[in-house]
Amino acid sequence: MTPSSILVLGAGELGMAVLQALAASTASHTTRIAVMLRPASLQSATARQLQTLGIELLAGDLQNDSQSTLAALFASFATVICCTGFAAGPGTQRKLARAAIEGGVQRYVPWQFGVDYEVIGRGSPQDTFDEQLDVRDLLRGQQGTQWLIISTGMFTSFLFEPSFGVVDLPNNTVHALGDWDTAVTVTTPEDIGRLTAQIVLAQPPLTNQVVFTAGDTLTYGQLADTVDAVLGITLTRERWSVPHLQAELAETPHDNLKKYRAVFAQGNGVAWDPAVTFNAQHQIAVTDVESWIRQHLTAPATTR
């Protein structure tokens, strides 16, 4: 199998990073790169930007099109990479995996750019994770379509989203999810894009396996120390224990951020040794948390 044609589903933050990296990596080859966008997005600035990179635009609606309609669209591609996550709605990831199989796609890369769902297991606080395991079962239960799962951990920037509440610079606070020695693996979307392109284009082809990446793996205590040291501040440290986060989730059981906090606080399947990663094994430079902070953050004025 040669990656003579690659279809990327979605052009959000991750999709754009993957598409740009694929375009750069295949510039001297005859690889066909396409992106599937909703019909309403075909005239957008994003679409025009992608066309300038030589990327073909394909109209499709992952959420509303039938499995068979999508299968017919997928059928002319050797590799399909799903970069559209849970926002597409419950059941969409299962439908896309079935469409890839029905369409006879040679290799499918599902939306699994996150944690190690098998270590977490079914019935976790984040109920959408169960669908990820359904997708893995679907792909492993057939032989017509090869598959490739890329586990990247959390987006690095998510650690610094005030709404998520881990590093909350406006309130000069850092929270540990679970405990200060609970670890988390993170990778930036830009690095995920570069690494995904290299993983997908690797020769001999990588198939039927889980490949890990990591920009950094660190504990919440190390995260707090790093923020303090780089920004020259002293954050107030507060621990959010697993029982505390579970109780918060029980009060508002449909709150997605609280689901994520609870599952990351448990610490299972959300962190791995960087030594096992594709980037470490191939000596590919990536952005660690300290570098990300230096590039993106400044200390709040009130703490200087």
Tens-place pLDDT, residues 16-26: 999 999 999 88
Domain-wise residue ranges, the chain: 5-154+187-212, 156-184+216-271+284-303
Contact 145, 100 (CB under 8 A): yes
Residues 173-209: pLDDT tens digits?
999 999 999 999 999 999 999 999 999 999 999 999 9
CATH topology classification for 156-184+216-271+284-303: UDP-galactose 4-epimerase; domain 1 (3.90.25)
Model confidence at 3: pLDDT above 70: no
- Token representation of residue 185: 């693996």
- 263 by Cβ neighbours in 10 Å (0-12 / 13-18 / 19+) ranks as buried
Helix locations, 141-219, DSSP H: 189-201
- 267-268-269-271 Cα dihedral, nearest 10 degrees: 30
Average pLDDT of the chain is: 95
pLDDT of residue 1: 41
Q: What is the DSSP letter of 117?
A: H
pLDDT of residue 145: 98
- Domain spanning 5-154+187-212: CATH 3.40.50.720: yes
